Protein backbone atom coordinates (compact mmCIF):
# COMPACT_ATOMS: atom_id res chain seq x y z
CA UNK A 1 0.00 0.00 0.00
CA UNK A 2 1.41 3.40 -0.95
CA UNK A 3 1.42 6.24 1.54
CA UNK A 4 3.55 7.02 4.55
CA UNK A 5 0.72 6.22 6.96
CA UNK A 6 0.43 2.64 5.75
CA UNK A 7 2.61 1.47 8.64
CA UNK A 8 -0.38 2.14 10.85
CA UNK A 9 -2.15 -0.89 9.36
CA UNK A 10 -1.05 -2.77 12.47
CA UNK A 11 -3.66 -0.73 14.31
CA UNK A 12 -6.53 -2.75 12.81
CA UNK A 13 -8.38 -4.52 15.61
CA UNK A 14 -9.66 -8.10 15.40
CA UNK A 15 -13.03 -8.12 13.68
CA UNK A 16 -14.69 -9.85 16.60
CA UNK A 17 -13.70 -6.96 18.85
CA UNK A 18 -16.27 -4.44 17.84
CA UNK A 19 -15.72 -0.78 18.54
CA UNK A 20 -14.46 0.57 20.66
CA UNK A 21 -10.71 0.09 20.38
CA UNK A 22 -8.21 0.98 23.06
CA UNK A 23 -7.77 4.65 23.88
CA UNK A 24 -4.18 4.52 22.58
CA UNK A 25 -5.28 3.12 19.23
CA UNK A 26 -8.08 5.63 18.88
CA UNK A 27 -5.81 8.54 19.77
CA UNK A 28 -3.42 7.41 17.03
CA UNK A 29 -6.22 6.99 14.49
CA UNK A 30 -5.48 10.34 12.82
CA UNK A 31 -2.42 8.65 11.26
CA UNK A 32 -4.59 6.32 9.19
CA UNK A 33 -5.19 6.78 5.48
CA UNK A 34 -8.76 7.11 4.24
CA UNK A 35 -8.67 3.53 2.94
CA UNK A 36 -7.63 2.23 6.34
CA UNK A 37 -10.29 4.33 8.08
CA UNK A 38 -12.99 3.10 5.71
CA UNK A 39 -11.92 -0.51 6.33
CA UNK A 40 -12.09 -0.15 10.11
CA UNK A 41 -15.43 1.64 10.10
CA UNK A 42 -16.83 -0.96 7.71
CA UNK A 43 -15.55 -3.76 9.98
CA UNK A 44 -17.04 -2.12 13.05
CA UNK A 45 -13.66 -1.91 14.80
CA UNK A 46 -13.80 1.90 15.02
CA UNK A 47 -16.68 4.32 15.01
CA UNK A 48 -16.91 7.48 12.97
CA UNK A 49 -17.10 9.46 16.19
CA UNK A 50 -13.91 7.90 17.55
CA UNK A 51 -12.00 8.75 14.39
CA UNK A 52 -13.44 12.26 14.25
CA UNK A 53 -12.38 12.91 17.85
CA UNK A 54 -8.84 11.74 17.04
CA UNK A 55 -8.65 14.23 14.16
CA UNK A 56 -10.06 17.04 16.27
CA UNK A 57 -7.45 16.39 18.95
CA UNK A 58 -4.79 16.54 16.23
CA UNK A 59 -6.25 19.82 14.97
CA UNK A 60 -6.37 21.23 18.50
CA UNK A 61 -2.73 20.35 18.95
CA UNK A 62 -1.52 21.70 15.60
CA UNK A 63 -3.88 24.43 14.41
CA UNK A 64 -2.00 27.25 16.09
CA UNK A 65 1.13 26.28 14.12
CA UNK A 66 -0.37 25.32 10.76
CA UNK A 67 -3.55 27.45 10.53
CA UNK A 68 -5.09 25.32 7.79
CA UNK A 69 -8.74 26.00 8.58
CA UNK A 70 -10.94 28.88 7.48
CA UNK A 71 -13.93 27.34 9.28
CA UNK A 72 -14.40 24.33 11.50
CA UNK A 73 -17.20 23.71 14.01
CA UNK A 74 -16.04 20.90 16.27
CA UNK A 75 -19.40 20.31 17.91
CA UNK A 76 -21.02 20.03 14.50
CA UNK A 77 -18.32 17.57 13.40
CA UNK A 78 -19.24 15.32 16.31
CA UNK A 79 -22.97 15.70 15.54
CA UNK A 80 -22.30 14.57 11.96
CA UNK A 81 -20.17 11.68 13.20
CA UNK A 82 -22.83 10.45 15.62
CA UNK A 83 -25.47 10.63 12.89
CA UNK A 84 -23.27 8.63 10.53
CA UNK A 85 -22.70 5.98 13.22
CA UNK A 86 -26.47 5.48 13.41
CA UNK A 87 -26.78 4.65 9.69
CA UNK A 88 -27.39 0.90 9.25
CA UNK A 89 -24.41 -0.92 7.74
CA UNK A 90 -26.50 -1.99 4.75
CA UNK A 91 -27.20 1.66 3.87
CA UNK A 92 -23.65 2.96 4.10
CA UNK A 93 -21.75 4.37 1.13
CA UNK A 94 -18.20 3.50 0.07
CA UNK A 95 -16.69 6.50 1.90
CA UNK A 96 -18.90 6.22 4.96
CA UNK A 97 -17.52 8.25 7.83
CA UNK A 98 -14.35 9.36 6.07
CA UNK A 99 -13.75 13.07 6.81
CA UNK A 100 -12.84 15.42 3.97
CA UNK A 101 -11.24 18.86 4.10
CA UNK A 102 -12.83 21.27 1.63
CA UNK A 103 -11.17 24.29 0.05
CA UNK A 104 -13.13 27.42 0.90
CA UNK A 105 -14.11 28.22 -2.69
CA UNK A 106 -16.42 25.19 -2.86
CA UNK A 107 -20.00 25.63 -1.67
CA UNK A 108 -21.14 23.64 1.38
CA UNK A 109 -24.74 24.07 2.45
CA UNK A 110 -24.00 23.74 6.18
CA UNK A 111 -20.85 25.86 6.34
CA UNK A 112 -19.86 29.33 5.11
CA UNK A 113 -18.00 29.77 1.83
CA UNK A 114 -15.85 32.89 1.96
CA UNK A 115 -13.38 32.51 -0.96
CA UNK A 116 -10.52 33.91 1.09
CA UNK A 117 -11.97 37.37 0.42
CA UNK A 118 -13.22 40.10 2.77
CA UNK A 119 -16.00 40.67 0.24
CA UNK A 120 -17.53 37.33 1.23
CA UNK A 121 -16.66 37.25 4.93
CA UNK A 122 -19.43 35.37 6.73
CA UNK A 123 -21.28 34.45 3.51
CA UNK A 124 -23.43 31.34 3.81
CA UNK A 125 -24.82 30.29 0.40
CA UNK A 126 -26.61 27.22 1.91
CA UNK A 127 -26.08 25.11 -1.19
CA UNK A 128 -23.76 22.21 -1.96
CA UNK A 129 -21.42 22.18 -4.91
CA UNK A 130 -21.89 19.11 -7.11
CA UNK A 131 -18.65 17.64 -5.78
CA UNK A 132 -19.87 17.96 -2.19
CA UNK A 133 -23.29 16.48 -3.01
CA UNK A 134 -21.57 13.49 -4.63
CA UNK A 135 -19.29 12.94 -1.65
CA UNK A 136 -22.12 13.29 0.87
CA UNK A 137 -23.99 10.56 -1.00
CA UNK A 138 -20.88 8.38 -0.68
CA UNK A 139 -21.03 8.90 3.10
CA UNK A 140 -18.24 11.36 3.85
CA UNK A 141 -18.12 13.65 6.86
CA UNK A 142 -17.45 17.24 5.81
CA UNK A 143 -14.79 18.22 8.34
CA UNK A 144 -14.46 21.92 7.58
CA UNK A 145 -13.35 24.58 5.12
CA UNK A 146 -9.66 25.17 4.46
CA UNK A 147 -7.85 28.41 3.76
CA UNK A 148 -7.29 29.61 0.22
CA UNK A 149 -5.66 32.59 -1.41
CA UNK A 150 -8.11 35.29 -2.50
CA UNK A 151 -10.68 33.74 -4.87
CA UNK A 152 -8.12 30.94 -5.46
CA UNK A 153 -6.55 33.37 -7.91
CA UNK A 154 -3.52 35.05 -6.34
CA UNK A 155 -0.02 33.98 -5.33
CA UNK A 156 -0.17 36.17 -2.22
CA UNK A 157 0.05 33.89 0.78
CA UNK A 158 -2.34 33.91 3.70
CA UNK A 159 -2.07 32.73 7.29
CA UNK A 160 -1.50 29.03 6.58
CA UNK A 161 2.00 27.70 7.26
CA UNK A 162 3.86 24.70 5.90
CA UNK A 163 3.52 21.90 8.49
CA UNK A 164 7.13 20.80 7.91
CA UNK A 165 8.52 24.30 8.53
CA UNK A 166 6.15 27.05 9.67
CA UNK A 167 8.47 29.69 8.25
CA UNK A 168 7.75 28.44 4.71
CA UNK A 169 4.71 28.63 2.45
CA UNK A 170 2.42 25.62 2.04
CA UNK A 171 1.86 26.72 -1.56
CA UNK A 172 -1.36 27.94 -3.06
CA UNK A 173 -4.02 28.49 -3.81
CA UNK A 174 -5.15 25.26 -2.08
CA UNK A 175 -2.99 26.21 0.89
CA UNK A 176 -5.12 24.90 3.72
CA UNK A 177 -6.07 21.60 2.13
CA UNK A 178 -2.48 20.74 1.23
CA UNK A 179 -1.28 21.63 4.74
CA UNK A 180 -4.12 19.78 6.50
CA UNK A 181 -3.47 16.55 4.59
CA UNK A 182 0.28 16.89 5.05
CA UNK A 183 -0.14 17.40 8.79
CA UNK A 184 -2.53 14.47 9.39
CA UNK A 185 -5.43 16.80 10.19
CA UNK A 186 -7.61 15.13 7.54
CA UNK A 187 -7.15 12.00 5.41
CA UNK A 188 -8.46 13.39 2.12
CA UNK A 189 -9.27 16.83 0.77
CA UNK A 190 -10.52 18.90 -2.11
CA UNK A 191 -8.66 21.71 -3.83
CA UNK A 192 -8.87 23.39 -7.20
CA UNK A 193 -6.36 24.10 -9.95
CA UNK A 194 -6.28 26.79 -12.61
CA UNK A 195 -2.50 26.95 -12.94
CA UNK A 196 -0.76 25.00 -10.19
CA UNK A 197 -3.07 25.30 -7.20
CA UNK A 198 -3.36 21.57 -6.48
CA UNK A 199 -0.04 20.07 -7.56
CA UNK A 200 2.21 22.78 -6.08
CA UNK A 201 0.81 22.51 -2.51
CA UNK A 202 0.96 18.72 -2.77
CA UNK A 203 4.67 18.92 -3.56
CA UNK A 204 5.41 21.49 -0.86
CA UNK A 205 3.50 19.52 1.82
CA UNK A 206 4.72 16.05 0.85
CA UNK A 207 1.42 14.44 -0.17
CA UNK A 208 -0.25 12.85 -3.17
CA UNK A 209 -2.62 14.81 -5.38
CA UNK A 210 -4.52 14.24 -8.60
CA UNK A 211 -5.43 17.02 -10.99
CA UNK A 212 -7.81 15.04 -13.19
CA UNK A 213 -8.53 15.59 -16.84
CA UNK A 214 -10.18 18.97 -17.30
CA UNK A 215 -13.97 18.90 -16.84
CA UNK A 216 -14.04 15.21 -15.88
CA UNK A 217 -15.57 16.25 -12.51
CA UNK A 218 -18.37 18.79 -12.29
CA UNK A 219 -17.28 22.26 -11.24
CA UNK A 220 -20.79 23.47 -10.48
CA UNK A 221 -20.73 25.31 -7.17
CA UNK A 222 -17.05 26.20 -6.99
CA UNK A 223 -15.56 29.61 -7.65
CA UNK A 224 -14.28 30.09 -11.20
CA UNK A 225 -11.14 31.89 -12.28
CA UNK A 226 -10.79 30.63 -15.85
CA UNK A 227 -13.35 28.14 -17.07
CA UNK A 228 -10.96 26.89 -19.73
CA UNK A 229 -8.56 25.64 -17.01
CA UNK A 230 -10.38 25.30 -13.67
CA UNK A 231 -10.36 21.74 -12.34
CA UNK A 232 -11.31 20.14 -9.02
CA UNK A 233 -8.20 18.71 -7.34
CA UNK A 234 -8.01 15.67 -5.05
CA UNK A 235 -5.59 15.28 -2.09
CA UNK A 236 -4.62 12.20 -0.09
CA UNK A 237 -1.72 10.45 1.60
CA UNK A 238 -1.90 7.37 -0.61
CA UNK A 239 -2.87 6.49 -4.16
CA UNK A 240 -5.39 4.00 -2.75
CA UNK A 241 -7.21 7.01 -1.32
CA UNK A 242 -7.08 8.87 -4.63
CA UNK A 243 -8.65 5.76 -6.15
CA UNK A 244 -11.49 5.92 -3.62
CA UNK A 245 -12.17 9.52 -4.62
CA UNK A 246 -11.89 8.66 -8.32
CA UNK A 247 -14.53 5.95 -7.78
CA UNK A 248 -16.82 8.40 -6.01
CA UNK A 249 -16.54 10.84 -8.92
CA UNK A 250 -17.01 8.08 -11.51
CA UNK A 251 -13.69 8.77 -13.25
CA UNK A 252 -13.32 6.13 -15.96
CA UNK A 253 -11.07 5.48 -18.93
CA UNK A 254 -12.40 4.05 -22.18
CA UNK A 255 -10.31 0.91 -21.71
CA UNK A 256 -8.86 -0.86 -18.72
CA UNK A 257 -5.18 -0.11 -18.21
CA UNK A 258 -2.74 -2.80 -19.34
CA UNK A 259 0.00 -1.51 -17.04
CA UNK A 260 1.56 -4.51 -15.28
CA UNK A 261 4.15 -2.93 -12.99
CA UNK A 262 7.33 -0.87 -13.14
CA UNK A 263 9.43 -3.82 -14.31
CA UNK A 264 9.35 -3.65 -18.09
CA UNK A 265 7.29 -0.45 -18.20
CA UNK A 266 8.16 2.42 -20.50
CA UNK A 267 8.40 5.96 -19.18
CA UNK A 268 9.49 9.27 -20.64
CA UNK A 269 11.18 12.00 -18.64
CA UNK A 270 10.52 15.52 -19.89
CA UNK A 271 12.21 18.53 -18.31
CA UNK A 272 9.87 20.84 -20.30
CA UNK A 273 10.46 24.27 -21.76
CA UNK A 274 10.49 25.71 -18.22
CA UNK A 275 13.58 23.79 -17.09
CA UNK A 276 15.60 26.98 -16.65
CA UNK A 277 13.33 27.69 -13.65
CA UNK A 278 14.37 24.46 -11.89
CA UNK A 279 16.39 24.81 -8.70
CA UNK A 280 18.86 22.28 -7.30
CA UNK A 281 16.22 20.34 -5.36
CA UNK A 282 14.06 19.69 -8.40
CA UNK A 283 17.08 18.92 -10.60
CA UNK A 284 18.17 16.24 -8.13
CA UNK A 285 14.61 14.96 -7.61
CA UNK A 286 13.98 14.41 -11.32
CA UNK A 287 17.40 12.79 -11.74
CA UNK A 288 16.83 10.48 -8.76
CA UNK A 289 13.31 9.58 -9.91
CA UNK A 290 14.69 8.61 -13.32
CA UNK A 291 17.42 6.49 -11.71
CA UNK A 292 14.90 4.72 -9.47
CA UNK A 293 12.59 3.83 -12.36
CA UNK A 294 15.52 2.41 -14.31
CA UNK A 295 16.87 0.50 -11.31
CA UNK A 296 13.46 -1.13 -10.89
CA UNK A 297 13.47 -2.38 -14.46
CA UNK A 298 11.71 0.38 -16.39
CA UNK A 299 12.86 1.89 -19.64
CA UNK A 300 13.06 5.67 -19.37
CA UNK A 301 13.48 7.77 -22.51
CA UNK A 302 14.52 11.40 -22.25
CA UNK A 303 12.30 13.47 -24.51
CA UNK A 304 11.81 17.10 -25.44
CA UNK A 305 8.52 18.54 -26.52
CA UNK A 306 8.54 19.93 -30.09
CA UNK A 307 9.32 23.67 -30.43
CA UNK A 308 5.66 24.49 -31.03
CA UNK A 309 5.06 23.76 -27.29
CA UNK A 310 7.57 26.38 -26.15
CA UNK A 311 4.98 29.15 -25.87
CA UNK A 312 2.63 27.18 -23.58
CA UNK A 313 3.38 29.17 -20.39
CA UNK A 314 2.68 32.44 -22.21
CA UNK A 315 -0.44 31.05 -23.88
CA UNK A 316 -1.73 29.92 -20.49
CA UNK A 317 -1.10 33.35 -18.98
CA UNK A 318 -2.81 35.16 -21.87
CA UNK A 319 -5.92 33.02 -21.54
CA UNK A 320 -5.85 33.32 -17.76
CA UNK A 321 -5.87 37.11 -17.74
CA UNK A 322 -8.43 37.25 -20.54
CA UNK A 323 -10.84 35.03 -18.63
CA UNK A 324 -10.04 36.71 -15.31
CA UNK A 325 -11.32 40.07 -16.49
CA UNK A 326 -14.74 38.46 -16.98
CA UNK A 327 -14.64 36.56 -13.68
CA UNK A 328 -13.65 39.52 -11.52
CA UNK A 329 -15.83 42.20 -13.10
CA UNK A 330 -18.56 41.63 -10.50
CA UNK A 331 -16.41 41.99 -7.35
CA UNK A 332 -14.60 44.89 -9.04
CA UNK A 333 -17.86 46.73 -9.63
CA UNK A 334 -19.40 45.83 -6.26
CA UNK A 335 -16.47 46.17 -3.86
CA UNK A 336 -13.33 47.31 -5.64
CA UNK A 337 -11.80 48.61 -2.40
CA UNK A 338 -11.91 45.09 -0.95
CA UNK A 339 -10.43 43.41 -4.03
CA UNK A 340 -6.68 42.87 -4.28
CA UNK A 341 -4.94 45.15 -6.80
CA UNK A 342 -3.74 42.07 -8.69
CA UNK A 343 -7.32 40.94 -9.36
CA UNK A 344 -8.51 44.47 -10.04
CA UNK A 345 -5.86 44.70 -12.74
CA UNK A 346 -7.55 41.84 -14.59
CA UNK A 347 -10.53 44.12 -15.13
CA UNK A 348 -8.62 47.35 -15.65
CA UNK A 349 -6.43 45.36 -18.05
CA UNK A 350 -3.01 46.97 -17.80
CA UNK A 351 -1.78 44.10 -19.99
CA UNK A 352 -3.78 44.90 -23.12
CA UNK A 353 -4.96 41.50 -24.31
CA UNK A 354 -6.98 41.88 -27.48
CA UNK A 355 -9.73 39.47 -28.42
CA UNK A 356 -7.49 38.42 -31.30
CA UNK A 357 -4.71 37.47 -28.86
CA UNK A 358 -7.20 35.68 -26.63
CA UNK A 359 -8.56 33.60 -29.50
CA UNK A 360 -5.06 32.83 -30.74
CA UNK A 361 -4.10 31.53 -27.29
CA UNK A 362 -7.26 29.41 -27.04
CA UNK A 363 -6.77 27.94 -30.50
CA UNK A 364 -3.05 27.23 -30.16
CA UNK A 365 -3.55 25.40 -26.87
CA UNK A 366 -6.44 23.43 -28.36
CA UNK A 367 -4.24 22.35 -31.27
CA UNK A 368 -1.43 21.24 -28.94
CA UNK A 369 -3.62 19.00 -26.76
CA UNK A 370 -4.07 16.09 -29.20
CA UNK A 371 -0.40 16.41 -30.16
CA UNK A 372 0.67 15.88 -26.57
CA UNK A 373 -1.82 13.03 -26.20
CA UNK A 374 -0.09 11.33 -29.14
CA UNK A 375 3.38 11.84 -27.64
CA UNK A 376 2.32 10.56 -24.22
CA UNK A 377 0.44 7.57 -25.66
CA UNK A 378 3.75 5.84 -26.42
CA UNK A 379 4.59 5.64 -22.70
CA UNK A 380 3.03 4.33 -19.53
CA UNK A 381 3.50 7.83 -18.10
CA UNK A 382 5.63 10.93 -18.57
CA UNK A 383 7.77 12.01 -15.61
CA UNK A 384 7.95 15.80 -15.16
CA UNK A 385 8.82 18.37 -12.45
CA UNK A 386 6.07 19.42 -10.05
CA UNK A 387 7.68 22.64 -8.81
CA UNK A 388 10.85 24.69 -9.28
CA UNK A 389 12.18 23.61 -5.86
CA UNK A 390 11.19 23.13 -2.22
CA UNK A 391 8.70 25.54 -0.62
CA UNK A 392 10.07 29.10 -0.45
CA UNK A 393 10.70 30.79 2.89
CA UNK A 394 8.01 33.30 3.81
CA UNK A 395 4.26 33.55 3.38
CA UNK A 396 4.03 36.48 1.01
CA UNK A 397 4.50 34.30 -2.10
CA UNK A 398 3.01 30.83 -2.59
CA UNK A 399 5.51 29.78 -5.26
CA UNK A 400 5.94 29.64 -9.01
CA UNK A 401 3.32 27.55 -10.85
CA UNK A 402 5.10 27.37 -14.19
CA UNK A 403 5.71 23.60 -14.16
CA UNK A 404 2.04 22.97 -13.38
CA UNK A 405 0.51 25.54 -15.73
CA UNK A 406 1.80 23.59 -18.74
CA UNK A 407 -0.42 20.62 -17.90
CA UNK A 408 -3.38 22.78 -16.88
CA UNK A 409 -3.18 24.31 -20.36
CA UNK A 410 -3.09 20.86 -21.98
CA UNK A 411 -6.00 19.55 -19.84
CA UNK A 412 -4.17 16.29 -19.04
CA UNK A 413 -4.31 14.34 -15.75
CA UNK A 414 -1.40 14.86 -13.34
CA UNK A 415 -0.41 13.04 -10.15
CA UNK A 416 2.11 14.50 -7.72
CA UNK A 417 4.19 11.79 -6.03
CA UNK A 418 6.15 12.69 -2.86
CA UNK A 419 9.45 11.19 -1.79
CA UNK A 420 12.24 13.64 -2.58
CA UNK A 421 13.70 16.58 -0.70
CA UNK A 422 15.44 19.87 -1.18
CA UNK A 423 18.62 21.26 0.29
CA UNK A 424 16.83 22.21 3.53
CA UNK A 425 15.12 18.86 4.06
CA UNK A 426 11.75 20.02 2.75
CA UNK A 427 9.64 17.70 0.59
CA UNK A 428 9.74 17.90 -3.19
CA UNK A 429 7.41 15.89 -5.40
CA UNK A 430 7.63 14.90 -9.02
CA UNK A 431 4.65 14.43 -11.31
CA UNK A 432 3.44 11.77 -13.68
CA UNK A 433 1.23 12.85 -16.59
CA UNK A 434 -0.73 10.92 -19.21
CA UNK A 435 -3.04 11.68 -22.15
CA UNK A 436 -6.46 13.16 -21.49
CA UNK A 437 -8.98 10.75 -19.95
CA UNK A 438 -6.32 8.26 -18.91
CA UNK A 439 -6.87 9.18 -15.26
CA UNK A 440 -7.41 5.65 -13.94
CA UNK A 441 -4.44 4.36 -15.89
CA UNK A 442 -2.32 7.13 -14.40
CA UNK A 443 -3.47 6.24 -10.88
CA UNK A 444 -2.57 2.60 -11.51
CA UNK A 445 0.93 3.60 -12.60
CA UNK A 446 1.26 5.99 -9.65
CA UNK A 447 0.27 3.23 -7.22
CA UNK A 448 3.27 1.22 -8.40
CA UNK A 449 5.70 4.13 -8.60
CA UNK A 450 4.72 5.87 -5.34
CA UNK A 451 6.08 3.31 -2.88
CA UNK A 452 9.42 3.25 -4.73
CA UNK A 453 9.83 7.01 -4.61
CA UNK A 454 8.72 7.21 -0.97
CA UNK A 455 11.04 4.42 0.16
CA UNK A 456 14.11 5.38 -1.86
CA UNK A 457 13.70 9.02 -2.87
CA UNK A 458 15.46 10.40 0.19
CA UNK A 459 12.78 12.42 2.00
CA UNK A 460 11.80 11.16 5.41
CA UNK A 461 9.14 13.15 7.20
CA UNK A 462 9.93 14.16 10.74
CA UNK A 463 8.48 12.09 13.55
CA UNK A 464 4.79 12.70 13.99
CA UNK A 465 4.11 13.75 17.59
CA UNK A 466 1.98 11.24 19.45
CA UNK A 467 -1.12 12.66 21.08
CA UNK A 468 -2.12 10.33 23.89
CA UNK A 469 -4.81 12.11 25.86
CA UNK A 470 -8.08 11.15 27.44
CA UNK A 471 -11.57 11.73 26.08
CA UNK A 472 -12.02 15.14 24.51
CA UNK A 473 -14.75 16.82 26.55
CA UNK A 474 -14.46 20.15 24.77
CA UNK A 475 -16.50 19.09 21.73
Neighbours of 166 (CB within 10 A): 15
**φ, ψ dihedrals at 270, nearest 5°:** -130, 115
Residue 457 DSSP class: S
Beta strands 208-211 and 188-193: pairing type? unpaired
Active site residue 103: yes
Q: Which of 54, 173, 431, 446 is catalytic?
A: 173
Asked if 236 and 181 touch (Cβ cutoff 8 Å), the reply is yes
Asked if 156 and 340 touch (Cβ cutoff 8 Å), the reply is yes
Residue 275 DSSP class: G
**Separation between Cα atoms, residue 61 and residue 373, nearest integer Å:** 46
Active site residue 364: no
Q: Which of 35, 197, 386, 446 is catalytic?
A: 197
**Separation between Cα atoms, residue 194 and residue 404, nearest integer Å:** 9
Active site residue 197: yes
What secondary structure, in 3-state letters, does 153-178 show?
A: CCCECCCCCECCECCECCCCCCHHHH
Which one, of 100, 102, 52, lies nearest residue 77 by Cα? 52
**Separation between Cα atoms, residue 174 and residue 196, nearest integer Å:** 9
**Separation between Cα atoms, residue 267 and residue 291, nearest integer Å:** 12
Which one, of 62, 33, 69, 57, lies nearest residue 207 by Cα? 33
Q: Which of 74, 103, 271, 444 is catalytic?
A: 103
Catalytic positions: 103, 173, 197
Amino acid sequence: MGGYASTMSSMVLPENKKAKGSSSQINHAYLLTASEVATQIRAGTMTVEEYARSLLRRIDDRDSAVKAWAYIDKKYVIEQAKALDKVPFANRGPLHGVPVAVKDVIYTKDMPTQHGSPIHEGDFPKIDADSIAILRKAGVLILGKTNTTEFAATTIGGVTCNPHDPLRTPGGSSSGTGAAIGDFQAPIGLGTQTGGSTIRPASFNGVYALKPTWNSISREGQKFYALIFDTLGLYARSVDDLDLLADAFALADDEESAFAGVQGARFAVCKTMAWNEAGPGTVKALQRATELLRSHGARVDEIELPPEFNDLPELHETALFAEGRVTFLSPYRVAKDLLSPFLAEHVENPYPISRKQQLAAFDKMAALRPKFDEIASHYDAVLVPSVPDEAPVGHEFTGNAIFCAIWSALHVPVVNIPGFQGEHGMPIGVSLVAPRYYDRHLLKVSKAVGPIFEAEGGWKRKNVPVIDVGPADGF
